[in-house]
Amino acid sequence: MLIKELQHLQHQHGYLPREALHELAERLKVPFFEVHGVASFYPHFRLEPQTGTEIKICTDLSCHLAGAPALQAALRQECTRAGLNGRVTIGETSCLGRCDAPVAYTLNEQIYSGGRPEQVDTLVQSLQAGQLPALQPLPTTPEGLQIDPYRDTPPFTALRQLVERRHFTDVLATLKASGLRGMGGAGFPTGAKWEIVRNASGAPKYVVCNADESEPGTFKDRVLLQTVPELILEGMVLGALTVGARQAYLYIRHEYGRERDILAQALQRMQRDGLVGERILGSELGVAIEIFESPGGYICGEETALLEALEGKRAEPRNKPPFPGTHGLYNRPTLINNVETFAFIPAILLRGADWFKRYGQHDAAGLKFLALSGHVQKPGVYEVPLGLPAARLIYDYGGGLPPGHTLKAFSPGGASSGFLPASMVDTPLDFQSLAKVGSMLGSGAVVAVADHVCMLDLALNVVKFFRNESCGKCVPCRVGSQKLVHMLERISREGGSTADLDAIDELAEAMQLTSICGLGQAAPLPITSVVRHFRDEIESHVYQRRCPAGVCFR
């Protein structure tokens, strides 16, 4: 695969020298422009060598709420005072998946969490001494999860039963009856998706696990990768056997290096025990699993863009239909689910559809992992009934807001779900309930926003993320997201007029109707939801040139 060749070259040289790219093109017998086009597309490929120390601070949703701008300013000031200008480069990076311990930053691509302005002098002293901070320990992961069926049952029983009984149609029936839906954002019924791939003509077939969660506020899959890697891998094997695939890929984001190592170790144990690979448990059945590290980019989380990356191309979404179930990887039938969906499979097959369904609330079915961050006292990942009201997650699980603050808004499903006001905090967190109020469950990330926050500034922050992460393939997303950023920046500096609000609505409608993929369709939601639910605050900016939170017009 071209991307793996590029990753090997970068590991060897520290960047991608032009002459090495020419040699690679000749060896692979592909035009140089194709190799360069892929290398220049992904953010984690370097075309120039790194000079000095490089620090990149996450400035997206949860880190923005935790004071990323203040940390960035303090770090620049301290580096200048210490005479490190020229030796230390300070920049920004998109969400690093450490939203439960903001502010996150990278230091020569090593990820650290919990950055604060008051820690800057210690960090700079280490840099002056030529030392890097020690790696932080992995966060504590939850125990006693309902998702784990093997606390009182031998491990991999679901896989052993499937290999013995070959009850593939029963698997599909159980998944359909359980009500399990895709947990990556779209919420497509899992049993129906598996059935489409099983019934699709053409071979070979493939299974892909999407572990590329990159949306601000989202880190639930990271915790599952740390906690239950064997369940994820077993779910992939169960899926492959059911749909008739012999090759599976786990596509994991670049920033999850330690999680990748945990998965690799779990995979090795399963291979040793005959649970994956050729002749599973001594049978004629076989499934190979390969871990594929993403070269970066939020767009890779879109399923067809992910397939393009696996094929060694630029991660640009495909037009749909056809869908991956019939025309996926290498144009073959492909089953794609995310980490959480695969992790639930063993428990549902062992305990039955009714066991899973009974956990839901407000007519929703099953359990859900939700990542809670922002202005809460106990951020983290929680296993909860699907349909749990947002208020219970924020206050009962998350401990509520810090003393002296009240809830102003919340994002119910990650950056792409927009913002709802505190008056709607009793809304159940499930697919139907959120759709009724014009939002979505999305990536399973709930972000609490306290009363001192400027909602225009927050919407601008999220729209910038989508602008930065647009692949640029389609004009509505590429141009529309840039125009949204320009309009919001101008309003935050100069105020505006009724024409600006009308333009936002018209541009949002055009992007949602004509963008190829969900990124362009969701990019306007942060500002359109804020205009809808916090109109008085927006009108204060537009007509009076006044920011109630005292953030804008500085």
Q: Which residues, at least 6 apart from 261, have a Cβ–Cβ distance to it below 8 Å?
A: none
Assigned token pair, 333? 């039938």
In angstroms, the Cα distances linking 529 to 253, 298, 307, 434, 462 are 29, 22, 31, 13, 12
pLDDT at 31 over 80: yes
Stated length of the chain = 554
pLDDT at 129 over 90: no
Q: What is the pLDDT of residues 362-395, one digit of tens each?
A: 999 999 999 999 999 999 999 999 999 999 999 9
pLDDT at 315 over 80: yes
pLDDT at 62 over 70: yes
d(CA 275, CA 160): 9
d(CA 523, CA 515): 10
Q: Which single residue is written with the structure tokens 């729209």?
A: 463
**Would you place residue 517 in the very low, low, confident or very high pLDDT band (cuts 50, 70, 90)?**
very high
| % of the chain beyond a pLDDT of 90 | 94
Q: What is the Cα 54 distance to its own chain's centre?
A: 24
d(CA 360, CA 350): 18
Name the DSSP letter for residue 119.
Answer: G
The pLDDT score that the predictor gives to residue 51 is 87
The 10 Å Cβ neighbour count of residue 125 is: 12
Q: Which single residue is written with the structure tokens 């950055």?
A: 115
d(CA 116, CA 267): 37
Cross-strand partners of 210? 251, 338
The pLDDT score that the predictor gives to residue 278 is 96
Question: Region 427-456: what's the mean pLDDT?
Answer: 96
The pLDDT score that the predictor gives to residue 460 is 98
pLDDT at 142 over 90: no
Question: Region 2-20: what's the mean pLDDT?
Answer: 96
Dihedral angle sign, alpha carbons of residues 502, 504, 505, 511: positive
Which has the closest alpha carbon to 189: 199, 179, 174? 179
The SS3 assignment for 118 reads helix
Question: Region 156-168: what's the mean pLDDT?
Answer: 97
Half-sphere exposure in the Cβ direction for 379 (13 Å, CA): 28
Name the DSSP letter for residue 138.
Answer: P
The pLDDT score that the predictor gives to residue 132 is 84
Rg (CA), the chain: 24
pLDDT at 127 over 80: yes
Assigned token pair, 426? 């009793």
| % of the chain beyond a pLDDT of 70 | 100
The 10 Å Cβ neighbour count of residue 498 is: 10
Query: Side chain identity at 175, as an amino acid letter?
Result: L
Q: What is the pLDDT of residues 232-284, one digit of tens each?
A: 999 999 999 999 999 999 999 999 999 999 999 999 999 999 999 999 999 99
The pLDDT score that the predictor gives to residue 92 is 96
- Helix and strand counts by DSSP (H, E) for the chain: 23, 13
pLDDT at 141 over 80: no
The pLDDT score that the predictor gives to residue 444 is 92
The pLDDT score that the predictor gives to residue 140 is 67
Cα angle 22, 24, 25 (rounded to 5 degrees) comes to 65
Per-residue DSSP letters for 510-541? HHHHH-SSHHHHHTTHHHHHHHHHSHHHHHHH
Give all domains of the chain, ordered by start, each with its CATH number: 2-41 (no CATH), 53-128 (3.40.30.10), 157-356 (3.40.50.11540), 367-450 (3.10.20.600), 455-544 (1.20.1440.230)
**Would you place residue 134 in the very low, low, confident or very high pLDDT band (cuts 50, 70, 90)?**
confident
Assigned token pair, 226? 């740390």
First to last CA, the chain: 50
Q: Which residues, at least 6 apart from 308, have a Cβ–Cβ distance to it below 8 Å?
A: 314, 315, 316, 317, 318
d(CA 315, CA 212): 12
Cross-strand partners of 483? none
Asked whether the beta carbons of 142 and 224 are under 8 A apart, the reply is: no
DSSP E strand boundaries for 153-231 = 206-211
